[in-house]
């Protein structure tokens, strides 16, 4: 029996003349001296139906939501380094610039807004009234906000 079968099929144990549920060791049937299988109540039977347990979530929805919040916050904190680097190299940027630089995308695309607002709170960037068409095909040509860097350092002029 494979590990997959154990997860999808009811397992019973054969112990001497007893048939037991593997998960609870509850007696399901006993083989009598007359060769007849009997239920725990003593009724003679030639077939046994075992109810399947309904699958349940391993964690509660509240615990899953809390775990997602923690993952999202960790992603934003780790990805702020990318916003910082982009803000130092570019006078203005959009979420498209961030998407291009990401090594790991967010769990939900809406976290990109959270990331940009976190960059603003840290003083790396600030909102502008300007918008540009997104270059990402998944955005269908919608516009995205342009953010101005507050930490941009212009490259030194080329040596003559």
Mean pLDDT of 98-114: 94
Residue 31 shares a structural domain with residue 69: no
pLDDT of residue 87: 96
Query: In this structure, is residue 57 part of a structural domain?
Result: no
Query: In this structure, is residue 89 part of a structural domain?
Result: yes
Query: In this structure, is residue 74 part of a structural domain?
Result: yes
Domain that holds residue 30: 9-39
**Does 5 score more than 60 pLDDT?**
no
Mean pLDDT estimate for the chain: 88
Domain of 79: which CATH number? 1.10.10
* CA dist., res. 48 & res. 26, Å (int): 14
Residue 27 shares a structural domain with residue 83: no
- If one counts the domains in the chain, the total is 2
Residue 35 shares a structural domain with residue 75: no
Task: Give 6's pLDDT tier (boundaries 50, 70, 90).
Answer: very low
Contacts of 114 (CB under 8 A, 6+ apart): 72, 76
Residue 70 shares a structural domain with residue 143: yes
SS3 61: helix
Residue 138 shares a structural domain with residue 69: yes
């Amino acid at each position: 029996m494979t590990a997959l079968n154990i997860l999808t099929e009811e397992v019973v144990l054969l112990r001497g003349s007893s048939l037991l549920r593997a998960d609870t060791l509850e007696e399901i049937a006993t083989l009598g001296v007359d060769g007849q299988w009997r239920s725990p109540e003593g009724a003679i039977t030639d077939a046994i139906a075992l109810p399947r347990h309904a699958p349940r979530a391993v964690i509660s929805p509240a615990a899953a939501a809390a775990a997602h919040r923690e993952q999202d916050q960790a992603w934003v904190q780790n990805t702020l380094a990318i916003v910082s680097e982009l803000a130092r190299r570019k006078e203005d940027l959009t979420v498209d610039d961030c998407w291009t630089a990401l090594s790991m995308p967010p769990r939900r695309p809406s976290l990109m807004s959270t990331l940009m607002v976190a960059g603003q709170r840290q003083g790396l960037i600030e909102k502008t009234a300007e918008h540009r068409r997104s270059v990402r095909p998944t955005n269908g040509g919608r516009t995205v906000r342009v953010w101005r860097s507050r930490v941009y350092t212009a490259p030194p002029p080329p040596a003559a």
